[in-house]
Amino acid sequence: MAKQTKPVVDRRNFLKGAAAGAAALAAAPAAVAAKSAEPRRAVPPPMSPAAEAEVPSGAEVLTADRTGSDFMVDVIKSLGFEYVCANPGSSFRGIHESIINYGGNKSPEFITCCHEESSVAMAHGYYKVESKPLAVLAHGTVGVQHAAMAIYNAYCDRVPVYVILGNIIDVTKRAPGVEWFHSVQDAAAIVRDFTKWDDLPISLEHFAESAARAYRVAMTPPTLPVVLVADGDLQETPIPSDSKIRPAKLTTEMPPVGDSGSVAEVARLLVAAENPVILADRTARTPAGLACLVDLAEALQCSVVDQAGRMNFPTRHPLNQSDRARAAVADADVILGLDVADFYGITHTYRDQIERTSRPGTKPNAKLLTISSDDLYIKANYQDFQRFTEVDMAIAADSEATLPSLTEAVKRLATDDRKRAFQDRGVRLNAAHLQALERSRDAAAFAWDASPISTARLCMELWGQIQNEDWSLVGATTFVSKWPQRLWNMDKHYQYIGGAGGYGIGYNAPAATGAALANRKYGRLTVNIQCDGDLMFAPGILWTAAHHKIPVLHIMHNNRAYHQEVMQVQIMADRHSRGIANCGTGTTITGPDVSYAKLAESMGMYGEGPISDPKDLGPAIKRAIEVVKRGEPALVDVVTQPR
């Protein structure tokens, strides 16, 4: 990151020059007019001892009690941010200083990150535990370029991240050199395709209004990232003592709810169905969502398939059919998708051969229904919206907010006959659920004692150590075959937070750290199953956790590869009958093997491993948990099977 490497006129030298220049002005009044036209002069004028000794009078003001950045911090505080994550940057130096001094470095507290991607991903993970956003500060140029991938992940995952970019709009206010490289006409342009709203306020009043608007826009489903540009000159301009400006009142956002007629029709179809299936994905936007979904499912005694974008439904609930999702979907006569990211994918099968094909995985006459806030907001360029699905009814609304009225409607329509049928169905589904659980346990038994350690064994050794704690799993389980959802007893909203959204690598470690930051005040034991390739993107997040004493336990899923890509290249090699001997080229992380325990130790974090004997894993995790319980982060490096 080469942000401030221009040696000729850096900020510090410039300030020295400016102070010296002011003294020179006092000594040479005739030059005042010319000098004052150059508020950010780059080269200090020559000084005489006499000039240095004199007290300047009538020269430019060099100090101010209060500048725009103080007011911006007032605004930021009014929005209730607990933390602001940032890698420092001079384009927001005013806000930075106001946060740590004027604001007392509290609400928000400044969290030092080593990469803007980490800043945004921390905010991403934090939101999914706390259901409110963090602020992120970044340069409008090099900072947001680093942040862009993480913002895209948040966009795809429908997570509101509140990004404030520093920038200097007025060309006459930029110092030569670095500040020009770090200035841009339209700072938000680079991320506009995957943010919901942005603005460039040109006054403090404007900043106050747009800050409140940005918050409300971000938090109204579909919840999405927003960008506010904080002009550097606006940050640093003094505020008149008689100024009446104030933060704008923040109105509580009300999520869009499905209209009563459509909700009634969905309820009618669900009640009449023989095998209805509810697909949940990003349904439980808040902790209330999980309880609402349980209410609906129990009212109907119907199958629930949790796609695990969030923790939507208890894993051991008898109606949870996630481990037999395809079978449940294939047998369904009504399928209701609740904020499902890829409805087409779960209702179709797809084959990746030379000729790519897909076909419906549902009955021909199955009714397909969706409730999704995605239908309220769509952009053209990035294709996260997935393939178009021919559904019978699409309600453009937030599913969590719609669930209570839908459940009420179902209860109203359920006759005694239907209730008896529901109960019979519930008994059958409970049996299917238990059979699926038994199959998963049997599957986990294969390679149980293998070395490298199987992903099932890794997950169960972790489970064995945390099951009696108030725990929170904050890493994606996609790459460990979703063993936690299949075998753990998960029933609280914060016990799983989903994945990256956009599948951009580099998300998991910082998101887990952000989630741990949210969990800290509740005293929860935060655990994360961390892929090696993901951590290699920006390992500085380990330092951030150590520095800020964020208690999180990283269990490395160290298969020493970008393994998904090993398989992708292998597919190509097989397709060409060329053998797969070279498929490790460009895809594996070996030669040398990375010591993640030493990496953690180098960042001030407890590290242990590499562990490749499954018998050693449980005790190692236990030792690491003791560290985490003391309020510090820890990492256990586990050499694993691929998936």
Q: Which of 13, 564, 602, 612 binds other proteins (CB under 8 A)?
A: 564
CB 532 within 8 A of CB 591: no
CA distance 479 to 488: 16
CA distances from 461 to 22, 620, 627, 634 (A): 67, 10, 17, 16
Number of residues that bind other proteins (CB under 8 A): 69
Token representation of residue 414:
């359920």
Of 583, 559, 582, 581, whose CA–CA distance to 569 is shortest? 583
Return the residue matching tokens 């099977």. 641
What residue type is 138 in one-letter code? A
566 binds other proteins (CB under 8 A): yes
Least CB distance from residue 13 to other proteins, whole Å? 41
| CA angle (152 as vertex; 400, 459 as ends), nearest 5 | 70
Is 420 or 441 the residue whose CB approaches other proteins more closely?
441
Least CB distance from residue 454 to other proteins, whole Å? 6
Least CB distance from residue 450 to other proteins, whole Å? 5
Return the residue matching tokens 């972790």. 462
Least CB distance from residue 61 to other proteins, whole Å? 50
Q: Which of 189, 268, 445, 626 binds other proteins (CB under 8 A)?
A: 445
Return the residue matching tokens 């004493």. 549
Other Cβ atoms closer than 10 A to 618: 15
Candidate ranges 247-255, 260-268, 412-420, 577-585; the one touching other proteins (CB under 8 A): 577-585
Residue 390: alpha-carbon gap to chain centroid: 30
Least CB distance from residue 359 to other proteins, whole Å? 9
CA distance 184 to 168: 8
Helix, strand, coil share (%) of the chain residues, nearest 5 = 45, 15, 40
Q: Which of 59, 121, 444, 545 binds other proteins (CB under 8 A)?
A: 444
Is 3 or 482 the residue whose CB approaches other proteins more closely?
482
Q: Residues 6 or more apart from 8 whose CB is under 8 A from it? A: 42, 176, 177
What is the DSSP code string of 112-155? E-SSHHHHHHHHHHHHHHHSSPPEEEEETTHHHHHHHHHHHHHH
Is 420 or 575 the residue whose CB approaches other proteins more closely?
575
Q: Which residues, numbered 334-363, are part of the site for other proteins (CB under 8 A)?
A: 342, 345, 349-353, 361
Least CB distance from residue 195 to other proteins, whole Å? 18
Q: Looking at 220-353, list the stretches that DSSP marks H as alpha helix, in order from N- to C-terminal side.
A: 232-236, 260-272, 287-300, 325-331, 343-347
What residue type is 297 in one-letter code? A
Is 20 or 443 the residue whose CB approaches other proteins more closely?
443
446 binds other proteins (CB under 8 A): yes
Least CB distance from residue 189 to other proteins, whole Å? 20
If you ran DSSP here, which 8-state letter would residue 198 be given?
Answer: E
Pairing of strands 162-167, 348-351: unpaired
Candidate ranges 71-79, 220-228, 404-412, 576-584; the one touching other proteins (CB under 8 A): 576-584
CA distance 413 to 419: 10
Site string for other proteins, 453-492 (x = CB under 8 A): -xxx---xx-xx--x----------xxxxx---xx-----
Q: Which residues, numbered 267-326, are part of the site for other proteins (CB under 8 A)?
A: 323-326
Site string for other proteins, 505-544 (x = CB under 8 A): x---------------------------------------
CB 492 within 8 A of CB 311: yes
Tell me how many helices (H) and strands (E) the chain has: 24, 18
CA distance 107 to 103: 8
Q: Which of 316, 412, 428, 578 binds other proteins (CB under 8 A)?
A: 578
Is 13 or 568 the residue whose CB approaches other proteins more closely?
568
CA distance 510 to 534: 10
571 binds other proteins (CB under 8 A): yes
Other Cβ atoms closer than 10 A to 529: 26
563 binds other proteins (CB under 8 A): yes
Least CB distance from residue 595 to other proteins, whole Å? 22
Candidate ranges 178-186, 201-209, 444-452, 550-558; the one touching other proteins (CB under 8 A): 444-452
Q: Which of 562, 597, 634, 636 binds other proteins (CB under 8 A)?
A: 562
What residue type is 240 in one-letter code? P
Q: Which residues, numbered 190-219, are part of the site for other proteins (CB under 8 A)?
A: none
Candidate ranges 55-63, 233-241, 332-340, 443-451; the one touching other proteins (CB under 8 A): 443-451
Candidate ranges 115-123, 132-140, 186-194, 562-570; the one touching other proteins (CB under 8 A): 562-570
Is 22 or 580 the residue whose CB approaches other proteins more closely?
580
180 binds other proteins (CB under 8 A): no
Q: Residues 6 or more apart from 1 whose CB is under 8 A from it? A: 87, 115, 142, 146
CA distance 500 to 511: 8
Q: Which of 160, 452, 539, 633 binds other proteins (CB under 8 A)?
A: 452
588 binds other proteins (CB under 8 A): no
447 binds other proteins (CB under 8 A): yes
Q: Which of 54, 60, 438, 626 binds other proteins (CB under 8 A)?
A: 438
Token representation of residue 550:
């964020």
CA distance 517 to 315: 25
Candidate ranges 123-131, 186-194, 433-441, 627-635; the one touching other proteins (CB under 8 A): 433-441
CB 226 within 8 A of CB 162: yes
Q: State the residues that interact with other proteins by CB under 8 A.
A: 323-327, 330-331, 342, 345, 349-353, 361, 436, 438-448, 450, 452, 454-456, 460-461, 463-464, 467, 478-482, 486-487, 502-505, 562-568, 570-571, 573-575, 577-581, 583, 641-643
